[in-house]
Amino acid sequence: MRVVLAPMEGVADASMRQLLSSCGGYDWCVTEFIRVTDVALPDKVFYKYCPELHEQGLIAGHTPVRVQLLGQHPGPMAENAVRAIELGSHGLDLNFGCPSNTVTGSCGGASMLKAPQSIFDVVSEVRKAVPKQHIVSAKIRLGWENKEDCFDIVQAVQEAGANELTIHARTKLDGYKAPAHWHYIKQVKQQFSIPIIANGEVWNRENYLQCKEASDCEDVMIGRGALTIPNLAKVVRGDEEPLHWSAVIELLIRYSQHEITSEKAKYYQSRVKQWLRYLSGYYTEADDLFRNIRVLKDTNSIVKQIRFQQCKD
């Protein structure tokens, strides 16, 4: 089996990728999407979203990172894909699943699910431009509204020459509402030969086994579940139990130490509170900690509360 860390806009940036991958179990991670319009992006944009490119595209020397691009114009997408590969990305991923209204309102992401030909045009142009030894992958949803559209969409991706495909087993209009419709992935696998990675509603080992059975798909991409149980990659593999709260506190402290000294320091308070909300889905202690810090406006006070939890534990 292969386990992949999902791209999560505004959440899974380089510091979070480093933290989660340090728990082990990932075959590779995918960056937050880089928006492509009609121009060649400067290198600084790639380095901003994927600073791991300075380190041969690896996290801590071992976990590969794949740049993800989002856009609807085949030529610029291909040009920027080539540059991402030249800078050291381990393959190139194409986003056709982002449900954000901002993104879909400008004809990107999940809006392209309504027109499989537009997906074909982008994937084929990128595949022709990127050297064959490098993987070109795509990430989709089942459709915009109709789940049955997934077959035309997958056909477009496969015929365009992509090497593999991640399917988030919901439509755009489903958003992130449970359940994920894993059985559609099984139907896709019965009709198409492109390797598939399942995505959606995998929060624990039991969910993974249910997904595997329903989708007939061993490979899985995990997203929000990894924010809830930081070592989820190892958990779904059956290698570990979820981390003890004391180990999670250590991760929170490491995260805090990095964030408050980084260029994103002004976002630390909202980001750490956001992560605690995810963690509270499994750890009751996280909910208690969130309640203690949610009204705090001072970074030092928040860090002090986290350290106090460490002492209590």
Structure tokens at 260: 């408050």
Q: What are the residue numbers of the active site? A: 98
58-90 confidence digits (pLDDT tens): 999 899 999 999 999 999 999 999 999 999 999
Angle at 16 between CA 10 and CA 17, to 5 degrees: 105
Structure tokens at 301: 């006070």
Kind and range of the H or E run holding 101: helix 101-105
192-228 confidence digits (pLDDT tens): 999 999 999 999 999 999 999 999 999 999 999 999 9
The CATH 3.20.20.70 domain(s) of the chain lie at 3-237
CATH superfamily of 3-237: Aldolase class I (3.20.20.70)
Binding residues are 68, 139, 168, 199-201, 223-224
Pick the CATH number of 245-312 from 1.25.40, 3.40.50, 1.10.10, 1.20.225: 1.20.225
> pTM of this prediction?
0.96
- Measured between alpha carbons, how far is 20 from 194 in angstroms, rounded to an integer? 28
The CATH 1.20.225 domain(s) of the chain lie at 245-312
Binding residues for FMN are 68, 139, 168, 199-201, 223-224
Structure tokens at 157: 């991706």
9-37 confidence digits (pLDDT tens): 999 999 999 999 999 999 999 999 999 99
Contacts of 149 (CB under 8 A, 6+ apart): 113, 116, 142, 143
> What is the pLDDT at residue 312?
67
Q: Assign 252 a pLDDT band (cuts: 50, 70, 90).
A: very high
